[in-house]
Homo-oligomer: A and B are copies of this chain.
Amino acid sequence: MINESYKAMLGGKSIIRELSEYATARGEEIGYENVFDYTLGNPSVPCAKEFNEALINIIKNEDPVAVHGYSPSLGITRVRTAIAESLCRRFGVDYKTEHIFMTSGAAGALAHALRAVTKPGDEVLVFAPYFPEYNEYVNRTGAVLKVVPPNFEDFQINFEAFCEMLNPKVNAVLINSPNNPSGIALTTETVERLAAVLEEKQREYGHDIFIISDEPYREIIFKGAENPYISKFYDNTLSCYSFSKSLSLPGERIGYVAVNPKCTDSDILAVMFGQISRGIGHNCPASSIQLAVSEVLELTSDLSVYERNMNLIYDELIKLGFTVVKPGGTFYIFPKALEDDANAFCMKAKKYDLILVPGNNFGAPGYFRMAYCISTEKVLKSFAVLEKFVKEEYGVTV
């Protein structure tokens, strides 16, 4: 009596993972240097060395019973305090220890935030293009994810569509800036307008609407881009953070939810997250990783390669006549394909060992994603292949 609903999910393999596995297999066949794998958002730069130093120091010098002992269910208190103080100092939101809940990365953070502020049947709105895993993250709570179509012009919010979709069943809006897959950061103007719309609708509906802000790329921001701290603009904000990308620690599963101190029930939300954990089997991130990360809160890996790669790829795409919005951060770019069917476009690219991810699953058919967290050398080498591909398949010459 296997659970049929989970069994049915076995077919639904992520297209990203499928293409990534293809790229790996192809690499084994023809040599990795000949495959141009733009599929996975896996940081390619080592973590800040201070993280490793802090971890070794803790393991070597602190009491092992304390270091490896049970973390309180909301996270180790001094770690939560350090995060609250750092966020307060950096963003001017008056977080206290009680507003921080430690999680297994952003996925863990979203699992708690979503359950705390929605119930089965509620609607959660998300803006396309969006990370396809949000479907599983939201729909498995019993709430329903509804996708607001993209504003293709600049990948800011499509307010017209958004306002049409708002209704009293909407209890949360899920945003992700800087964005996977577009690389776009919401501007201050966009965030202010979003906050104003939601404030008005909260009054109109007579209930809270929470912003659940998924912010793993918050620290990967490029020159000239605005990067407003969402929670400053809207009180009912739950900020979901992960150290995966900023510190290159995706495997260590470490992040947090920061509850805006002015949010409804801000004094009990973190405690509620602790209750939610009991049902979903989440019991804090690893204690030694919590302790180590708390010593490097304001450091990042050397992220400069991502901006360097972005500028090179953006210029190349423009040169080849692609329609593309210049990313403000992350390590993604999301150009328009050269034919309406982005799946067909990506399948053709694959023949050239150029592995691109079609945008259909991101809620933006006709577009494709490139994850450029790879070496700059590899990026440069890929241009000849890209040029060959668009010339032979679409007659594009430069």
Give the CA-CA distance A71 to B253 in the complex, in Å.
Answer: 10
The oligomer's copy count stands at 2
Contact check, B282 vs A108: say whether CB atoms are below 8 A apart. Answer: yes
- Known A-B contacts A43-B65, A68-B251, A252-B68; A272 and B104 likewise in contact (beta carbons under 8 Å): no
Q: How far is the CB of A163 from chain B (nearest CB, A)?
A: 20
Q: Which of B64, B248, B281 contacts A111 (CB 8 A)?
A: B281
Give the residue among A6, A47, A108, A110 with the most B Cβ atoms within 10 A.
A6
Q: Does A140 contact B (CB under 8 A)?
A: yes
Q: Does A264 contact B (CB under 8 A)?
A: yes
Contact check, A286 vs B289: say whether CB atoms are below 8 A apart. Answer: yes
Contact check, B6 vs A253: say whether CB atoms are below 8 A apart. Answer: no
Q: How far is the CB of A305 from chain B (nearest CB, A)?
A: 12
Give the CA-CA distance A265 to B210 in the complex, in Å.
Answer: 41
Contact check, B45 vs A56: say whether CB atoms are below 8 A apart. Answer: no
Give the CA-CA distance A122 to B287 in the complex, in Å.
Answer: 35
Contact check, B60 vs A42: say whether CB atoms are below 8 A apart. Answer: no
Give the CA-CA distance A46 to B254 in the complex, in Å.
Answer: 24
Give the residue among A107, A264, A276, A278 with the most B Cβ atoms within 10 A.
A278
Contact check, A252 vs B286: say whether CB atoms are below 8 A apart. Answer: yes
Residue of B nearest to A278 (CB): B136
Chain B residues within an 8 Å CB radius of A118? 1, 3
- Known A-B contacts A117-B2, A281-B104; A69 and B42 likewise in contact (beta carbons under 8 Å): yes
Within 8 A of B (CB), among A94-146: 103-105, 107-112, 115-119, 122, 133, 136-137, 139-141
Contact check, A280 vs B10: say whether CB atoms are below 8 A apart. Answer: no
- Known A-B contacts A275-B9, A286-B253, A288-B251; A46 and B64 likewise in contact (beta carbons under 8 Å): yes
Q: Which of B116, B253, B283 contacts A2 (CB 8 A)?
A: B116
A-B contact pairs, 25 of them (CB 8 A): A1-B118, A2-B272, A3-B116, A3-B117, A3-B272, A4-B119, A6-B272, A6-B276, A10-B268, A42-B69, A46-B63, A56-B60, A64-B248, A69-B251, A107-B283, A110-B281, A111-B280, A139-B279, A251-B287, A252-B286, A252-B288, A280-B280, A281-B282, A285-B286, A286-B289
Q: Which residues of A pack against B, CB within 8 Å?
A: 1-7, 9-10, 42-47, 52, 55-56, 59-60, 63-65, 67-71, 103-105, 107-112, 115-119, 122, 133, 136-137, 139-141, 171, 207-210, 248-254, 264-265, 268-269, 271-272, 275-276, 278-289
